[in-house]
Amino acid sequence: VVAEESASFRDVLDSGGRIEPRDEMPEGYRRTLIRQMAQHAHSEIIGMQPEGNWISRAPSLRRKAILMAKVQDEAGHGLYLYAAAETLGVDRADLLDQLHDGRQKYSSIFNYPTLTWADVGAIGWLVDGAAIVNQVPLCRCSYGPYARAMVRVCKEESFHQRQGFDILHTLAQGTPAQKAMAQDAVDRYWWPSLMMFGPADSGADSGGHTAQSMAWGIKRFSNDELRQKFIDMTVPQADALGLTLPDPALTWNEERGHFDHTPVDFTELFEVIAGRGPCNEQRMAHRVGAHRDGAWVRDAAEAYAAKHAPRATA
């Protein structure tokens, strides 16, 4: 790790190559990747909670089996991402400590409650849909281990998105009460899903990391570009579902070749990121409690490894 970009590092980026763990890299590049990858990993495991809330109440055995598989996939995604982050010389246990004491973040979206079964559909359709739009370009991220982890994650997210669409499709074709439940879930999850892409590219609501992350080939598109891509993709899908999106300004702009929309209220995003969303306290308390309750499993695994270590090296 070096302070400045070296010529060899720049050459790899300019030729579209991959930076690998043993390659020389600027300290800022390494730190940015650790921040983003850890935040991404934390999001995957905190993201198990809102849907996990419905496993015991899924409306059929089939829906329950599918939801259990999805939530388990999310644990797997967390695992790939923590393992990928560890190639940058950090320790997973330390990353978890940083999540637990608030030094690292997780996605704002998982601080919203899942009030009905339709919310599980809205999460699959909108949240996984947004995750795919954000993560497909990350398969071309300049850091090899992150890019490779994203390939498999994206394949699994595509299945997740289809299952969410299928839940909402079934409800939207059902009784008026079921259709209303689906519409209510979409109404509540639409704006928070748009906030997943992060703050605006410019102005008072802008983030700050995008320009540097794009120069380093970590991000390939800006937050607003990806948000627009997601909106353009989702409007026709809402039509196919027979549901509406809660934004009267959504209209096709022929000149821009995109849907126009009401600007996102970033005050809400910043409030949620600062810990003041509807479920932040509950999510963190559950996570910290699960970690504490799992201490004996980690201790047992360590004792087992220690017992078998001499045999493994013999």
CB atoms under 10 Å from CB of 280, counted, come to 20
- Whether the Cβ atoms of residue 189 and residue 129 lie closer than 8 Å to each other: no
State which residue, 129 or 183, has the beta carbon closest to ligand FAQ.
129
State which residue, 142 or 213, has the beta carbon closest to ligand FAQ.
213
- Whether the Cβ atoms of residue 195 and residue 230 lie closer than 8 Å to each other: no
Specify the DSSP element, H or E, that contains 211: helix 210-215
State which residue, 113 or 174, has the beta carbon closest to ligand FAQ.
113
Q: How far is the CB of 300 from ligand FAQ (least distance, A)?
A: 28
Q: How far is the CB of 137 from ligand FAQ (least distance, A)?
A: 9
Q: How far is the CB of 27 from ligand FAQ (least distance, A)?
A: 16
- Whether the Cβ atoms of residue 261 and residue 249 lie closer than 8 Å to each other: yes
Q: At 275, which amino acid appears?
A: G
State which residue, 77 or 169, has the beta carbon closest to ligand FAQ.
77
The residues of the shown chain that bind ligand FAQ, judged by CB under 6 A, are 35-36, 39-40, 43-44, 47, 74, 105, 107-108, 123, 127-128, 131, 134, 195-199, 207-210, 213, 219, 223, 273
- Beta-carbon contacts of 249 under 8 Å, excluding residues fewer than 6 positions away, are 260, 261, 262
CA separation for the pair 110, 278 (Å, rounded)? 10
Q: How far is the CB of 103 from ligand FAQ (least distance, A)?
A: 10
Q: How far is the CB of 57 from ligand FAQ (least distance, A)?
A: 17
**Minimal CB distance residue for ligand FAQ:** 207
Alpha-carbon distances, residue 84 vs 24, 212, 248, 267 (angstroms)? 17, 21, 42, 32
- Whether the Cβ atoms of residue 4 and residue 26 lie closer than 8 Å to each other: yes
Q: How far is the CB of 227 from ligand FAQ (least distance, A)?
A: 10
E-strand stretches of 154-257: 251-253
Residue carrying the six token digits 């409030």: 271
State which residue, 176 or 208, has the beta carbon closest to ligand FAQ.
208
State which residue, 199 or 217, has the beta carbon closest to ligand FAQ.
199
Q: How far is the CB of 138 from ligand FAQ (least distance, A)?
A: 6
State which residue, 49 or 183, has the beta carbon closest to ligand FAQ.
49
Residue carrying the six token digits 């320790």: 91
- The tally of CA atoms less than 13 A away on the side-chain side of residue 40 is 26
